[in-house]
Amino acid sequence: MLDFTNKIIIITGGGSGIGKAASLAFAKQGAILHIIELNKEQAEETVAAIKMSGGKASAHNCDVSNQQQVSQIFKEIGNIDVLVNNAGIAHIGKADTTNEVDFDRVFNVNVKGYYNCMHEAIPLMKEAGKGVILNVCSVAAQTGIAERFAYSMSKGAIYSMTLSVAKDYLKDNIRCNSISPARVHTPFVDEYLQKNYPGKEKEMYEALAKTQPIGRMGTPDEIASLIVYLCSDEASFITGCDYPVDGGFTKLNT
């Protein structure tokens, strides 16, 4: 089961966190990975880890918000079986405290970046007669989270784009789903705590973890496991769906 031998997988933001965990998980199943990442060093670290385990991977330095850069990389890669849209940024602020520059920055990476990659991947998948797209969304798309105006906007767009793509390419045998994680313990979380709560990192980490009914944050590996399944042949009957991976955050918070 979950055999990806020689399947070509493109993962954006594969240099750290969920993207890195997914890249490693796909590689274990025999996939050929292409890591698209703004941080060149992180991408190369992921590729090195895959190759050390006998896998195949390549790193591509790219700003996903730049359509020309994205187009060139997809042309270089050629065939593609799976696209995992994962690269994204966060922002803290309400509607009246979010300035235009930050709003545009979040939109360009989180929304336009996903669009750019799907815009390039779908014609290749149509030509091949099959393909899978997995968009990393967030519980913020459907649940109110304080001071996450621009971020929630971007994730709501990702959620609706997923449904649109799933509907439009049914006859082309292209599946499109999304997952919506809650808080996951990634390097981003540690950096956020260090920046905003110096000296109180442990205390604030525990407070954030307890906001989820299950009592802890998720791990990148847990999220990666669902990503791999939804992109596998075993999930061939699933399209146009969003899956919360949230420790009960969406349905069990009171």
Domains of the chain: 8-182+227-243 (3.40.50.720), 184-217 (no CATH)
Q: What is the mean pLDDT of residues 33-55?
A: 97
**191 vs 205, higher pLDDT:** 205
**pLDDT tens string 2-21:** 999 999 999 999 999 999 99
pLDDT at 254: 61
Give burial (CB, 10 Å; 0-12/13-18/19+) of 74: buried
Q: Which of 115, 151, 159, 205 is catalytic?
A: 151
d(CA 162, CA 137): 9
Pair of tokens at residue 36: 């698209």
Pair of tokens at residue 142: 């459907």
The arrangement of strands across the sheet holding 242-245 comes to 56-61, 32-37, 8-12, 82-85, 131-136, 174-181, 242-245
Q: Is the backbone of residue 106 left (phi > 0), alpha (psi -120 to 50) or beta?
A: alpha
Pair of tokens at residue 140: 């913020």
CA angle 16, 112, 107 (to 5 degrees): 85
Residue 253 has pLDDT above 90, yes or no: no
Q: Is 151 among the catalytic positions?
A: yes
Instruction: Tell me the pLDDT band of 136, cut-offs 50, 70 and 90.
Output: very high
| Nearest to 213, CA basis, from 243, 180, 247, 184 | 247
pLDDT at 47: 98
Residue 87 has pLDDT above 70, yes or no: yes
Lowest mean pLDDT among 9-18, 105-114, 194-203, 231-240: 194-203
Q: What is the mean pLDDT of residues 133-143?
A: 96
Residue 223 has pLDDT above 70, yes or no: yes
Instruction: Tell me the pLDDT band of 211, cut-offs 50, 70 and 90.
Output: confident
CB 243 within 8 A of CB 134: no
CA angle 96, 101, 105 (to 5 degrees): 110
d(CA 170, CA 176): 9
Pair of tokens at residue 222: 């847990």
pLDDT at 191: 85
Other C-beta atoms lying within 10 Å of the C-beta of residue 96:
6
Q: What is the mean pLDDT of residues 202-223?
A: 93
Residue type at position 102: D
d(CA 125, CA 133): 10
Q: What is the mean pLDDT of residues 49-78?
A: 97
Contacts of 168 (CB under 8 A, 6+ apart): none
